[in-house]
Amino acid sequence: MKRNAVRQTGTTARTRQSRDPIHQLEADLKHVGSDPVRFPRTSKLRAAGAPQQAKKIVEEATELAIEAMLQNKDAAVLEAADLLYNMIVLLEGMDIRFDDVTQELERRRTVFGIAAKQHKNGSSPTEPADA
CATH of the domain at 43: 1.10.287.1080
- The verdict on residue 123 lying in a domain is no
Structurally, the chain folds into a number of domains equal to 1
- The verdict on residue 126 lying in a domain is no
- The verdict on residue 6 lying in a domain is no
- The verdict on residue 45 lying in a domain is yes
- The verdict on residue 43 lying in a domain is yes
User: How much is the pLDDT for 119?
Assistant: 77
What CA–CA distance (Å, rounded) separates 53 from 15? 32
Mean pLDDT by 10 residues, the chain (131 residues): 42 56 95 91 96 98 98 98 98 97 96 87 55 44
- The verdict on residue 117 lying in a domain is no
What CA–CA distance (Å, rounded) separates 63 from 77? 11
Structural domain boundaries, residue 47? 18-112
| Long-range own/partner contacts, residues 20-29 (CB < 8 A, 24 or more apart) | 22/84, 22/88, 22/98, 23/98, 25/85, 25/88, 26/88, 26/92, 26/97, 26/98, 29/88, 29/89, 29/92
- The verdict on residue 118 lying in a domain is no
